[in-house]
Structure 1
Amino acid sequence: MTTVPTFDELFLNCRSSAVHLEMRDGYMKSDPAFVDWSAGHRIDPAERWTDWLELVSRATHRGVEVRRARIVSEPVSDYIRFEYEVTDGLNVAAGEQVRWLPRRQATDIALPGNDFWLFDESLVLVNHFDGDGDSLEHEVTGDPEVAKLCASAFEAVWERGTPHEDYEPTV
């Protein structure tokens, strides 16, 4: 019996690339950081997400290219505004490249049914969420056809996406 690697193990064992495609307009709305942000409190990513910053920084420092693409509805949801506002201090600060693609520009892209991480173009971590955006479970697959679909979808979104530093969310 093989054991399923944890997310941290996937990141730590990654050698060349880790790409993440997000396609929902809201995630974990009960997240304390989102709740605080919604209440008007300033969010310092370096204080809130030290483990994430360390994990991604370690990967990028050893040469792993980490990219994240987000397909978003416009006008953006409150949760996407929150993500946008913490992206510099969280994702970009850790070494990620981030792009945004308005959903209207993704109509002709073949997309998988779930958000995912693709490691080294061969191992896919599928994220399953409930209707409110809370994480249910992760599924890991090395199926070459799934990896090929995810890689193709990600690259199509990445090519059309706007780099974070140039993107202005429509509110």
Structure 2
Amino acid sequence: MLLDGDEWQATLRGFRQEAWRLETLPRYRVPQETEEFDAFRAGRRVDSRAYSSPYTEDLDRLRREGKRKGRVHVVTRPLSEYLRFEFSRYYTPHVRAGEDIRILDVTDRTNPLPGVPDFWMFDRSKVVLMHYEEDGRQAGRELYEGDPAPFLEYQRIALTESMPFLEYVSE
């Protein structure tokens, strides 16, 4: 089943304990980011310590409610321009607001998750596959109707093999 609009928003907001994501692409083409990405490319930076958004405010609320949100992003160096943007614009303030963001750098080692697609997992039971075009544009979201066990294993591997974002960027 494809998830879009209100159904996707209800899924994204309706989890009880944990929302977790695996990201595998070096670039995501998100229309809402175009202006900010262009500003980043022109050398303008946002002070991540002062940054607030509905997303960071929601992370604060989730933390107060005892809920968790996290992700692991699989990367290779050199980081793409988009990843440098994403790290500075989103990941730093999101970590400060409570999201558990980790990086799985596979530059000098074998990827422990070859061929695993981007996905969201909610409450360790509901999986949404994220489909993308080659250029990073989202092509759709699909509710996975099979056994979530493989995705639980992908999460375990990703968490075990990755490092916390702030540790990664301080190296």
Structure 1 length-normalised TM = 0.81
* Corresponding residue SS for 1:143: coil
* Residue of structure 1 in register with 2:41 after alignment: 38
1:82 and 2:65 are equivalent in the alignment: no
> Distance between the aligned counterparts of 1:105 and 1:64, measured in 2?
34
5+ residue gaps in structure 2? Answer: none
What is the letter of the counterpart of residue 23 of structure 1? T
* Residue of structure 1 in register with 2:167 after alignment: 166
For residues 7-65 of structure 1, give each alpha carbon's deviation from its aligned partner in whole angstroms, at most 9, with x where no partner exists: 33123221111111101111117622212111112236699872322333333321112
> Distance between the aligned counterparts of 2:55 and 2:73, measured in 1?
18
Change (3 A) 1:119 1:105: farther
Change (3 A) 1:29 1:41: farther
1:50 and 2:53 are equivalent in the alignment: yes
1:140 and 2:143 are equivalent in the alignment: yes
1:117 and 2:120 are equivalent in the alignment: yes
- Seq. identity, %: 25
* Residue of structure 2 in register with 1:61 after alignment: 64
* Structure 1 residue 139: Cα displacement: 0.9
CA contact (8 A) 2:23 2:118 kept: yes
* Corresponding residue SS for 1:71: strand
5+ residue gaps in structure 1? Answer: none
CA contact (8 A) 1:21 1:116 kept: yes
* Structure 1 residue 140: Cα displacement: 1.4
RMSD of Structure 2 on Structure 1 (CA): 2.8
CA contact (8 A) 1:29 1:35 kept: no
